[in-house]
């Protein structure tokens, strides 16, 4: 099998062009320092989960994309957790809206990173995930999440309706391949908070002339924007109380922030919090 035929090629390309946001790795490592058990919902190929495991936690990574979970397992075999001083990492391919609830809460931290909630497609799906997260957190446990910051008005159009221009996004090189990535935004007039990002991956061996395409892949990511006030309402309905807000993982949330970062605790266990001083 050549790199062009690799069944994990779509997941590998996705991993290379979706590397997280500046400062998110350090933030989540700090938020989970000392936690025995961490649940990451939307773990993808395991970028954060591996780092949390290496820090010493048991980490359960959940993602609904089978290729990304398979790539995460490949990384785990290559690098692994369980080395001296490290924790353990388990990976599950599952829909986070349908996660079975344990008989007792079992996690010290739940993280939902890198706009994962915005990929769920509806407020009902977001509420379902947050409700499960709250139920799986131990008393005194903490949930951390980030979403891109949008207008607080839920009726505000996030992306202009219709199909935008197809634009070159980047070129990535790996495994002897060259991949030119094209991106197109598609807005929805009937659902102002819904939009799509459509990708075309033009793949060729890195020694072929520019412009030659040996394989083309397409991927569509559906997004559901979550204004901050609405997201906090959903957290409350799920039994979670927001205790901290940040902008871009650096500090205070302000007009220049591009990411909204929230910390929340189960309402039933706020008095027993073991969270970091803030």
Pairing mode, if any, of strands 162-163 and 137-148? unpaired
Whether residue 157 lies inside any domain: the answer is no
Domain identity same for 220 and 233 = no
Burial class (CB in 10 A: 0-12, 13-18, 19+), 112: buried
Region of 87 please: left (phi>0), alpha (psi -120 to 50) or beta: beta
32: nearest Cα among 278, 277, 275, 249: 275
Give the per-residue pLDDT at 210: 87
Do 131 and 255 reside in the same domain of the chain? yes
* Alpha carbon distance 152, 230 (integer Å): 8
pLDDT reported for residue 3:
95
Q: What is the pLDDT of residue 81?
A: 62
For residue 270, name the pLDDT band (cuts at 50, 70, 90).
Answer: low
Do 53 and 59 touch, CB atoms closer than 8 A? Answer: yes
Report if residue 129 sits inside a domain: yes
Q: Could you give the C-alpha distances from 218 to 173, 195, 198, in angstroms and in order? A: 18, 17, 7
Residue 80 has pLDDT above 80, yes or no: no
Alpha helices in the chain (DSSP H): 9-17, 24-32, 47-54, 66-78, 123-136, 228-237
| CB crowding 140-157: b at 16 or more within 10 Å, else e | bbbbbbbbbbbeeeeeeb
Residue-averaged pLDDT of the chain: 93
**Is the domain of 49 the same as that of 115?**
yes
Name the domain boundary from 224, 239, 262.
224
- For residues 85 and 119, membership in a common domain is answered with yes
The helix/strand/coil state of 234 is helix
Task: Give domain status of residue 254, yes or no.
Answer: yes
41 pLDDT above the threshold of 60: yes
Do 51 and 137 share a structural domain? yes
State whether 138 and 171 are in the same domain: no
Residues 143, 256 share a domain: yes
Average pLDDT over residues 39-56: 97
The β-bridge partners of 265 are 241
Residue 13 belongs to a domain = no
Note whether residue 6 is domain-resident.
Answer: no
Q: Is 199 inside any structural domain? A: yes
Q: What CA–CA distance (Å, rounded) separates 132 from 238? A: 8
Q: What is the mean pLDDT of residues 196-223?
A: 96
Tell me the per-residue pLDDT of 214-243, one tens digit each, with 9 for 90 and over: 999 999 999 999 999 999 999 999 999 999
Q: Which domain holds residue 239?
A: 18-150+226-272
pLDDT: is 176 or 101 the higher one?
Answer: 176
Residue-wise pLDDT tens digits, 143-167: 999 999 999 999 999 999 999 999 9
| Confidence bin at 82 (pLDDT 50/70/90) | low
168 part of a folded domain: yes
Residue 10 placed within a domain: no
- Does residue 116 share a domain with residue 166? no
pLDDT at 101: 76
Cα-based angle 19, 20, 25 (whole degrees, multiple of 5): 115
Domain count, the chain: 2
CA distances from 274 to 33, 132, 244, 270 (A): 11, 21, 14, 9
Asked if 32 and 166 sit in the same domain, the reply is no
Q: Do 118 and 74 share a domain, yes or no? A: yes
CATH assignment at residue 239: 3.40.50.150
Same domain, 143 and 48: yes
Does the pLDDT of residue 11 top 50, yes or no? yes
- Whether residue 194 sits in one domain with residue 77: no
């Amino acid at each position: 099998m050549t790199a062009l035929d690799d069944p994990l090629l779509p997941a590998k390309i996705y991993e290379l062009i979706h590397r997280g946001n500046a400062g998110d790795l350090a933030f989540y490592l700090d938020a989970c320092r000392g936690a025995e058990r961490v649940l990451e919902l939307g773990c993808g190929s395991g970028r954060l989960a591996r780092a949390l495991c290496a820090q010493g936690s048991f980490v359960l990574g959940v993602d609904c994309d089978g290729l990304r979970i398979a790539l995460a397992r490949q990384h785990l075999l290559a690098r692994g957790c369980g080395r001296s001083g490290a924790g353990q990492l388990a990976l599950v391919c599952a829909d986070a809206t349908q996660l079975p609830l344990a008989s007792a809460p079992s996690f010290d931290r739940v993280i939902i990173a890198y706009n994962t909630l915005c990929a769920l497609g509806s407020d009902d799906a977001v509420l379902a995930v947050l409700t499960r997260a709250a139920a799986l957190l131990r008393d005194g446990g903490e949930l951390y999440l980030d979403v891109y910051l949008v207008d607080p008005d839920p009726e505000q159009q996030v992306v202009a309706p219709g199909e935008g221009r197809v634009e070159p996004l980047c070129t990535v090189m790996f495994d002897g391949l060259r991949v030119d990535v094209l991106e197109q935004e598609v807005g929805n007039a009937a659902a102002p908070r819904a939009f799509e990002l459509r990708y075309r991956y033009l793949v060729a061996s890195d020694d072929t002339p520019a412009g030659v395409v040996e394989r083309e892949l397409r991927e569509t990511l559906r997004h559901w924007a979550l204004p901050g006030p609405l997201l906090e309402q959903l957290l409350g309905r799920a039994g979670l109380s927001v205790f901290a807000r940040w902008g871009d993982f650096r500090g205070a949330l302000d007009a220049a922030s591009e990411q909204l970062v929230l910390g929340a605790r189960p309402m039933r266990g706020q008095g027993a919090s073991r969270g970091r001083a803030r």
